[in-house]
Amino acid sequence: MRRLIPFSLLAVLVIAAGIFTGLSYHQATASSSAKILLSCSDKYGVKPTTYVLSCADFNSKFTGLHWTSWGSTTAYATGEARWNDCTPNCASGHWKSESVTLWAWDLKNDRYTRLGSTDPSLLNSETLTPYPA
């Protein structure tokens, strides 16, 4: 009987390791498939590098986005906010830019549904619904 205890303990450890390996694989797979609504369309994408804010005239956008924590509860990106000052008008305006941090959250059905930014004048908290809303 005492000889069976080490083998029983080993069997329990092997089964537990298999379960945890399976769970880790599932989490890694889920995180890579999370999506965000692509601006100006009803299509979804993974880790977009550009996000247009004003679809009618493309006069404000986020570019050079580098995402981290993708697939987690909240995904973060750093990049550049670019906008046209439209002075004296949008056709003759000047492009401005600044560094920005974005975050996407409220993951539902493997899709982020909210987007926020460190620059509240460009984007404070946008609900990501298929365009047009």
Q: How many CB atoms lie within 10 A of CB 131?
A: 13
Instruction: Report d(CA 116, CA 101) in Å as an integer.
Output: 8
Q: Are strands 35-37 and 111-117 parallel, antiparallel or unpaired?
A: parallel
pLDDT > 70 fraction of the chain, expressed in percent and rounded? 65
Rounded Cα distance between 74 and 23, Å, is 20
CA distance linking residue 93 with residue 86, whole number of Å? 4
The answer to whether residue 82 scores a pLDDT higher than 70 is yes
Question: Which H/E stretch holds residue 77?
Answer: strand 75-84
Cα of first residue to Cα of last residue in the chain, in angstroms, is 69
Kindly tell me if the per-residue pLDDT of 121 is higher than 90. Answer: no
Per the CB < 8 A criterion, the answer to whether 98 and 85 are in contact is no
Q: How far is CA 57 from the centre of its chain?
A: 24
Model pTM above 0.75: no
For 27-77, what is each residue's pLDDT tens digit? 443 456 888 888 777 788 899 999 888 877 878 889 999 999 999 999 999
